[in-house]
Amino acid sequence: MAVVEEHGYFWWSTEIIPDGQFAPKNAVPGYLEIAENGIVKLELHGFLSEPSHPLAALFIPESHEGKSIQGILKASNRTVLLLDIESDGGRASAGGISHQNFIAWRALVGNDRIECVHDVRMSGLSIELDGFEDWLLLGAISGKHTRRSITVKAKLSNTHQYRLRDSKLTIRTNLRRPFGTFKHKRKITIEEYAQLEYSFKADLNLEKAQEKFLLVSDLLTLLSGSSRSLNWPRLHIGRGKSLKRYEYFYGCSRNLSEPAKFFDCWVTFPQISDSFGNILQSWDDAQKKLGSGLQLFVGTLKSNSLHLEHKFANFIWGLEVLHRLKHPTAVQSEKFKEKIDRIINDVKLQKDRDWLSERLRNAHEPSLQQRLKYTVDSLGLGFEEKSLQDFCKVCADLRNDLSHFGGQRTFPNYDEMIQVLHEKLGALELIYHAITLTEIGIDNKIIQNFIFSGRHSYKFMQTMKRAGLTRN
């Protein structure tokens, strides 16, 4: 399904548009399509630039690195700027219609022409939070009806503003409704919605602005438990009276799952409305500090096409990375490390000592089982010691079997291994989710309440029980 489908005129963005005209004289008509996944396809009814021979543009295409295409759309009168473009074939015909095709991996679409600059800079961005109404706990519309009349009122919630290190963040609610008065209507739709808006202290390039958008998207996935993709953002160019907004599309996989449901949300917005800015800043900082230790969870959670083995391995890898990054000098025990050093020092020949030192370079590090146990223990979920020890050992053995033996070393057949994987994976996902939320400053009481007292608490406890985990 396409989000934009329109005819228009297109030209290289370096072309000068004469005063009083909407396009340069050598603009080419064409058809633009932006797919749901953000990839842009442009079919031109002609060639943007005249090569020495039309076939040259198809079979020996010139490099388009650093180039961009501008256009104006026929039906909506909106302007477009296509970036990261590639040739996508076409046809050169002496007796028919020649056409040239392009793919663009990024696009800006708005009501105002974007001036041609080498590096477009953004002053902010805004996102409509459609699909996350339950997470926000929206519900400002109320009504009363009698036999002859209906009265509808909307009391919108307060605007929330937060000061971040490099920007200001605002979350506000508003109403979608017909403009003007509502006389003689047969049907009226009134809908509450919310919008999140960044205002950057210093203008950012396109890549950095996109990172801010992804930051919000990943955080909402963590808080709501929903892998639903956010609406495409609007990027802001300019400030004050000269500020202009453009829809931004880029090629990516998108998840259009059902909207987040209130009872499925780990943390709702009202629970953290006062500290949401701090949490977002913590999530941003955590990307730089803990990187893959957190992203392996979020990326796996947002993917809907991973096999069971891949998902399980991602979770174990992520938890291992998290422990390594937080405890880079951890050892199994000081006595064990001293024993290794003593054995190495007892070797007489220097070359043999060097060889053995290299072989035992990482022998003093905690085992995967120990890393998992320490990380899970830090949550304080009250698991019985023996059950947690056994759970972590099985998970570590399974990961090592998958990585080095194809998973068939411990279990007699594939089906039995998959059954154990499935049992452990359910508990691992809950534990890893809780750990990630803790890392960004979510109160442990909120997390434990969701797991042990929320609507899904019985299902969660059964999941833990199937995985062999029991509480004290």
Whether 144 and 51 share a structural domain: no
Whether 97 and 173 share a structural domain: no
Answer whether residue 159 is part of any domain: yes
Place of tokens 């105002």: 112
Number of CB atoms found within 10 A of residue 23's CB: 20
Answer whether residue 350 is part of any domain: no
The pLDDT value given to residue 466: 94
Could you tell me whether strands 69-73 and 2-12 are parallel, antiparallel, or unpaired per DSSP bridges?
A: antiparallel
The pLDDT value given to residue 95: 64
Whether 214 and 250 share a structural domain: yes
Conformational region of residue 75, where left means phi above 0, alpha means psi within -120 to 50, and beta covers everything else: alpha
Last residue of a domain, one of 260, 285, 310: 285
Dihedral angle sign, alpha carbons of residues 14, 20, 21, 25: negative
Domains of the chain: total: 3
Whether 308 and 450 share a structural domain: yes
Whether 206 and 262 share a structural domain: yes
Whether 257 and 205 share a structural domain: yes
Answer whether residue 356 is part of any domain: no
- What are φ and ψ of residue 269, in 5° steps? -60, -45
Q: DSSP string spanning 199-231? A: EEEEEEEHHHHHHHHHHHHHHHHHHH---PPPP
Whether 139 and 222 share a structural domain: yes
The pLDDT value given to residue 331: 66
The pLDDT value given to residue 14: 87
Answer whether residue 377 is part of any domain: yes
The pLDDT value given to residue 186: 81
- pLDDT beneath 50: ranges in the chain: 52
DSSP assignment, residue 325? H
The pLDDT value given to residue 149: 83
The pLDDT value given to residue 353: 73
For the whole model, what pTM was predicted? 0.88
Give the H/E segment covering residue 7: strand 2-12
Answer whether residue 130 is part of any domain: yes
Whether 399 and 451 share a structural domain: yes
Last residue of a domain, one of 81, 110, 139: 110
Helix, strand, coil shares of the chain, percent, nearest 5, are 40, 25, 35
Last residue of a domain, one of 83, 110, 137: 110
Whether 438 and 318 share a structural domain: yes
Whether 324 and 399 share a structural domain: yes
Instruction: Measure the N-to-C terminal CA separation of the chain; round to a whole number of Å.
Output: 52
Domain holding 34, by residue range, is 2-110
The pLDDT value given to residue 338: 74
What number of CA atoms fall less than 13 Å from residue 210's CA on the CB side? 13
Whether 187 and 326 share a structural domain: no
Alpha-carbon 339 to chain mean position: 46
The pLDDT value given to residue 406: 64
